[in-house]
Chain A
Amino acid sequence: MQGFASEFATATTLILTGDPELWSIVLLSMRVSVFAVLISAVIGMPIGAALAVARFPGRRATIVLMNALMGLPPVVVGLLVYLMLSRSGPLGVLELLYTPTAMIIAQVVLVTPIIAALTRQVVELLAEEYAEQLRSLGVSRLASVPVLLWDARLALVTALLAGFGRAIAEVGAVIIVGGNINHVTRVMTTTIALETSRGNLALALALGAILIGIAVAVNALVSALSLRAEQEGLRHA
């Protein structure tokens, strides 16, 4: 543990002076997770909203299943995606294993249930509130989905953030399907795992600090944006 403080200082200097190697890792992390969250939103939000308003046998069971999938172990998801994308797997011909695309796929599997489940919750509350109005306008349940999603947009930002938090912090899945290849699939969490295994604990910790910094910055940005949107909404009302 000797020289921990000085090692930590060196690592922090690397970060603050914009070391290109380090920042390319940070950018790749952001790129993969932002992409994964956007795709998950496109898939998860309509599913969540539809589940909130639709009435069909097995609906409760579907909701229970979806909530349970929020706790999918990343390692299991990594393994499943690996088996699909391996040259011996059904999608092997696509040659996607050990690419950023493979990491995005794994994160989409992890994040979609979170976004869908949180969307379901938000939209269900809103649907109750709007029930009478929608009925008097003669809007069918499923046709009301776009309106409900739009009106719930501020609350849904939280669902996106929850998904992003899961994606950017995850290591178990991306290290299996990405392979932690230098300059290709090495992201922040896999770098932290690698540096820890090299015994470079201070560097690993400094990287962890950036990861937390990014999470705080993204949350602050989004909360500022939604606050402004809320105020604009009030002015129009």
Chain B
Amino acid sequence: MIRNLIRAASVSLGLLALPANAEEPFIVVQSTTSTQNSGLFEHILPWFEAETGIDVRVVAVGTGQAIKNAVNGDGDVLLVHSKADEDRFVAEGWGVERFDVMYNDFVLVGPRTDPAGVKGGDDITGALTAIFDAEAPFASRGDDSGTHKAEIRFWADAGIDPTDASGTWYRETGSGMGATLNVAGGMGAYALTDRATWLTFGNRGDLEILVEGDPRLFNQYGVILVNSERHPGVRAAAGQRFIDWLIGPDGQSAIETYTLDGEQLFFPNAE
């Protein structure tokens, strides 16, 4: 029995040995589910890591949560997509400066049967009005993410408050983009999504793109260094190096080369 215990203990100690890369320099980037789910980081980060030896650790949550985590100091760099919130983050002193990084666009997806008859349109507020009139199921993120905030903006532009219908045709999942698309597919609902997540999403089922091309569907991503005057623990030098790379020629061309089935997912537009 004792011998067995010792044997079991030594096996488990072997398992417990800490990972060897513990001392490597690293930064924590608070970012959004769309950049991770789309595989963008897996594509571009190896270049940066090879060039600088800095390990980039990405925490992917909704934009709202990413900003709150950064306010708490739990990240060195913030890369999200909700410009008004990003500007406020900097104005309140939590961030140093905001830079444009890249953009893509939002699309409205929905069931092939298209009960609200919005297919082929390029007017997002018109489509939302039609969905409202038809009381067709709509799956909202409902999680303060960048996509959720854009969706709220479009409803407001259409002069509709969908939350009055919360729990009936308007369904707030409170989840990430992919999880919300899973829900939309499952209940035959419409949903607003960024194009990158849609293109890489593997469980489309009966869903397809119904509305795209409205200039208002523009989706801009920005990057900000968390202010080390507020949080002295911030790895400012390494974080700044990452931002300089991302908005410089190397990072921008790395973003440009990321394609899926020949389609580019993000368009670099740093100045």
Q: Which residues of A contact B (CB under 8 A)?
A: 1, 7, 27, 30-31, 34-35, 38, 86-89, 92-93, 95, 97-98, 100, 179-182, 184, 194, 196-201, 225, 228-229, 232-233
List residues of chain B with CB within 8 A of the CB of A95.
Answer: 233
Q: Which residue of B57, B181, B202 contacts A181 across the interface (Cβ within 8 Å)?
A: B57
List residues of chain A with CB within 8 A of the CB of B202.
Answer: 7, 198-201
Which residue of B is nearest A32, CB measured?
A: B16
Contact yes or no, A181 B233, CB < 8 A: no
List residues of chain B with CB within 8 A of the CB of A229.
Answer: 1, 4
For A1, A89, A194, A197, which residue has the most chain B Cβ atoms within 10 angstroms? A197
Contact yes or no, A199 B201, CB < 8 A: yes
Contact yes or no, A92 B233, CB < 8 A: yes
Q: Shortest beta-carbon distance, B261 to chain A, in Å?
A: 15
The answer to whether A232 and B1 touch (CB under 8 A), given A92-B233, A181-B59, is: yes
Which residue of B is nearest A200, CB measured?
A: B202
Interface of A is mostly: helix
Q: What are 28 A-B residue pairs whose CB atoms fall within 8 Å in the complex?
A: A34-B15, A38-B12, A86-B69, A87-B74, A88-B73, A88-B231, A92-B233, A97-B74, A98-B59, A100-B18, A179-B28, A179-B57, A181-B58, A182-B57, A194-B36, A196-B179, A197-B33, A197-B176, A197-B177, A197-B178, A197-B182, A198-B37, A198-B201, A198-B202, A199-B182, A199-B201, A228-B4, A229-B4
Q: Shortest beta-carbon distance, B15 to chain A, in Å?
A: 5
Q: Which residues of B contact A (CB under 8 A)?
A: 1, 4, 8, 12, 15-19, 28, 33, 36-37, 41-42, 57-60, 69, 72-74, 175-179, 181-182, 200-205, 231, 233
Q: Shortest beta-carbon distance, B229 to chain A, in Å?
A: 13
Q: How far is the CA of A184 from the CA of B19 in the complex (A)?
A: 9
Which residue of B is nearest A229, CB measured?
A: B1
Q: How far is the CA of A219 from the CA of B21 in the complex (A)?
A: 32
Contact yes or no, A198 B200, CB < 8 A: yes
Contact yes or no, B201 A34, CB < 8 A: no
Q: How far is the CA of A34 from the CA of B59 in the complex (A)?
A: 25
List residues of chain B with CB within 8 A of the CB of A179.
Answer: 28, 57, 59
Given contacts A196-B182, A225-B8, A229-B1, 6 further A-B contacts (CB under 8 A): A34-B15, A86-B73, A88-B73, A88-B74, A197-B33, A199-B204
Q: How far is the CA of A31 from the CA of B12 in the complex (A)?
A: 8
Contact yes or no, A34 B12, CB < 8 A: yes
Contact yes or no, A197 B179, CB < 8 A: yes
Q: Shortest beta-carbon distance, B208 to chain A, in Å?
A: 14
Contact yes or no, B181 A199, CB < 8 A: yes
Q: Shortest beta-carbon distance, B30 to chain A, in Å?
A: 9
List residues of chain A with CB within 8 A of the CB of B175.
Answer: 197
List residues of chain B with CB within 8 A of the CB of A196.
Answer: 178-179, 182
Q: How far is the CA of A95 from the CA of B200 in the complex (A)?
A: 34
Q: Which residue of B1, B37, B42, B57 contacts A184 across the interface (Cβ within 8 Å)?
A: B57
Q: How far is the CA of A62 from the CA of B100 in the complex (A)?
A: 56
Q: Which residue of A27, A34, A88, A98 contacts B72 across the interface (Cβ within 8 Å)?
A: A88
Contact yes or no, A197 B57, CB < 8 A: no
Q: How far is the CA of A181 from the CA of B69 in the complex (A)?
A: 15
Which residue of B is nearest A104, CB measured?
A: B16
Contact yes or no, A199 B8, CB < 8 A: no
List residues of chain A with CB within 8 A of the CB of B74.
Answer: 86-88, 97-98
Which residue of A is nearest B185, CB measured?
A: A199
Q: Shortest beta-carbon distance, A84 to chain B, in Å?
A: 12
Q: Shortest beta-carbon distance, A21 to chain B, in Å?
A: 11
Contact yes or no, A201 B203, CB < 8 A: yes
For A31, A89, A198, which residue has the most chain B Cβ atoms within 10 angstroms? A198
Q: How far is the CA of A197 from the CA of B183 in the complex (A)?
A: 10
Q: How far is the CA of A184 from the CA of B29 in the complex (A)?
A: 13
List residues of chain B with CB within 8 A of the CB of A201.
Answer: 202-203
List residues of chain B with CB within 8 A of the CB of A233.
Answer: 1
Q: Which residue of A34, A35, A98 contacts B57 across the interface (Cβ within 8 Å)?
A: A98
Contact yes or no, A92 B73, CB < 8 A: yes
Q: Shortest beta-carbon distance, A234 to chain B, in Å?
A: 12
Q: How far is the CA of A200 from the CA of B178 in the complex (A)?
A: 10
Contact yes or no, A31 B59, CB < 8 A: no
Contact yes or no, B203 A199, CB < 8 A: yes
Q: How far is the CA of A228 from the CA of B175 in the complex (A)?
A: 48
Q: How far is the CA of A198 from the CA of B57 in the complex (A)?
A: 19
Which residue of A is nearest B60, CB measured?
A: A180
List residues of chain A with CB within 8 A of the CB of B8.
Answer: 225
